[in-house]
Structure 1
Amino acid sequence: MRGICGILSAAALLAGHATPALAQEAGTSFEQAQYEACLNLINENPEAAYEEGLAWRAQGGSWPAMHCIALSQVALGQYGIAARRLESTAEGAVVATDETRAIMFGQAGDAWLAANEPANAERAFRRGRDFGPGDAGLALGVAEAAILQENWANAQTAAGDAIGLDAGLARGWQIRAQAHLEQGNLDAASADLNEALARDGENIEALVLRGRIAEARRTGG
C-alpha cells in the first residue's frame, strides 16, 4: 500500500513546483518562502506547522496555506480530515500547475487509504489523473483502492494503466496478478506474478500470492 511517508516527501517536491503559480497569484516570492518554511516545519513539529498554517490562512494565505494545514493534519494522524482538505485545496488551486494539482490529489488519495476509505481514495486518485494522466503513481493508487474494494475488474484495468506507464512497478504487476486470480484467470495471474517477482523477488505479499495461485491450481478453484 502507498505510504504516508510518500505524502510528506511529495510536499518537498511541491514546494519546487509552487513558484510559477504563486508568481501569478501573489506577484512576490514572500508566499513561496512562507510555503517552503511551513512544509519544512511539518517533519519537525507538525502541531506548530498546523498552527502556522492556520495563522497564515487567517491573514489571507491562499492554497499553499491550506496545503500546509492539510499535510500537518496528515502528520498528526488526522487522515480523513486531511484527505478532505487536500481534495478541496487541489480543486480550488486553479492558479497552480496541473502537475501540482495532480500531486495534491494523489496525496488526498493516500490519506483516504490511511483512513481506510478506499472508495474516497479511488475518487481522489481518478481526479488526480485528470491533471496527471501520465503519472503512473496515480494509476497505481486507483488500482490499490479498487483492490481494497474487491473490485477486481477496475483493479485489473488500473494496474494495467500503471504498468503501461511504468513497467518497472512491481506492485502494479502484483495487483493485476491478484485481480486475475480473483477472477479465475490463473494463467494470467501466474504470468503477472512472475513479472512482479522479477522486479521484487523478496516481497512477502507477492510470495503469499504465489502460494494462493498454486493452491488454486491444485484445487481447481
Structure 2
Amino acid sequence: MLLRPALALLLLTGPAMAQKGLGLMEETPDHLRLYNDCMKLARADPLKALPAAEKWHAQGGGFAARHCVATAMFMAGRYAQAAVQFESIARDMGQDRPGLRAELWAQAGQAFIEAGVATKAIEAQNRAIELKPTDASLWVDRGLSHAAQRAWPRAISDFDRALQLSPDDVEVLVLRAASWRNAGNPERALADAARALRIAPDHSEALLERAFANLARGQRGTANVDFSMVLRLVPPGSPAALRAEAGLRGELPHPSEPALPQAPAGAARGGGKR
C-alpha cells in the first residue's frame, strides 16, 4: 500500500456498478451510456469533462451527473471541491442505498486526504463505517487518515479491525507493521512483517518493514539481508530501492519521510476490492 503517500481515489466505475447505474440515475441504456462516457472522459481529460458533466446535470442528469462532476474535480486536482461534492451527494440521497452512500462518504474521505485535511477525511470515513462496518477497506481508509495525523494508536486500532475482517490481507499487515514501527514498537512491527512474508515471501514493502524493524532492534546484519533482497526485486531508483539503500547505510526512516509505504493498486477503489 501505503496507503499511500498519495491516496488514490476509489472510484465507483467498475462494469458491474455501471450496469446497475450506480443507483444514481434512471436505469435506461441512454443514461447508462451517458454516465459511462462522462466517467471515461473524467478520467482521461477532467478539465474537458467538468463542463460537460455540469451541462448534463443542468439538463437533468441528477446524482449520476453530480458524481461525474465530483470525479472530474478530483481528477483535475480540485480535491477539496470534489470532497464537498461527494459529501453532498451522499447527504442528498437520504436514507436510501446505505452501501452506496458508504462508498460516497469513502470517496469524500479520499478527496479530503488528498486536500491535506485529515480531520475532515476522518469525519467522512466515520460516516462510511457507520453505514458499512463490515467493509475492511473502510477501516483501512480511516487508519490511513489517522496515520496521516501520526495518531499511531488509532491507526493501529483501525488496521486491527480491518484484519479481523480480512485476516490474510498482506497490504494491511504491512500498514500495521509500519504503524507499529512509527509508534516505536519494532517487535510488533517485526511480527506483522513476518506474518505478511509468510503469505507473500517476495513482497518488497513487507521485506522493508522486517528490515527496518530488525535495524531498530540492532540486528543490522539480518536487516541487510532483506534490504539486499528488496534491491533485487524492485526497479533501481524506485522509492522502495531508495529506502533499501538508506537502510543498508544504517539509516532508519526520517520523521519527515512518508510514514507509510505506498498503496498497492488493489487498494484503490474501483480495483475490485469493494
TM-score above 0.5, yes or no? yes
How many angstroms does 1:43 deviate by? 2.9
- Tell me whether 161-170 or 115-124 shows the greater mean CA deviation: 115-124
* Number of equivalenced pairs: 215
- Tell me whether 109-118 or 66-75 shows the greater mean CA deviation: 109-118
Runs of 4+ in 1 over 6 A off after TM superposition: none
For normalisation by structure 2, the TM-score amounts to 0.68
Counterparts in 2 of 1:114 and 1:19: CA distance versus 1, 3 Å: closer
- Tell me whether 26-35 or 175-184 shows the greater mean CA deviation: 26-35
Counterparts in 2 of 1:118 and 1:20: CA distance versus 1, 3 Å: closer
Check if 1:139 corresponds to 2:139.
yes
Q: Higher RCO, 1 or 2 (CA under 8 Å, sep at least 6)?
A: 2
Match of 1:207? 207
How many angstroms does 1:4 deviate by? 5.9
How many angstroms does 1:158 deviate by? 0.3
Check if 1:11 corresponds to 2:33.
no
Match of 1:98? 98
Note the 1:1-221 alignment, pairs <5 A: 1-2=3-4, 6-8=9-11, 10-12=12-14, 14-18=17-21, 20=23, 22=25, 26=26, 31-94=31-94, 96-218=96-218
How many angstroms does 1:109 deviate by? 2.0
Which runs of 5 or more structure 2 residues have no equivalent in the other structure? 220-274
How many angstroms does 1:208 deviate by? 3.1
Percent identical residues? 27
* Greater helix content: 1
Amino acid at match of 2:167: A
For the 8 Å contact 1:15–1:36, the answer to whether it is kept is yes
For normalisation by structure 1, the TM-score amounts to 0.82
How many angstroms does 1:19 deviate by? 5.7
- Tell me whether 191-200 or 160-169 shows the greater mean CA deviation: 191-200
Which runs of 5 or more structure 1 residues have no equivalent in the other structure? none
**Residues of 1 paired with 2:27 and 2:204: CA distance?**
51
How many angstroms does 1:200 deviate by? 4.2
**Residues of 1 paired with 2:218 and 2:22: CA distance?**
58
For the 8 Å contact 1:21–1:97, the answer to whether it is kept is no
- 3-state secondary structure, aligned to 1:156: helix
Counterparts in 2 of 1:163 and 1:106: CA distance versus 1, 3 Å: same
Counterparts in 2 of 1:104 and 1:199: CA distance versus 1, 3 Å: farther
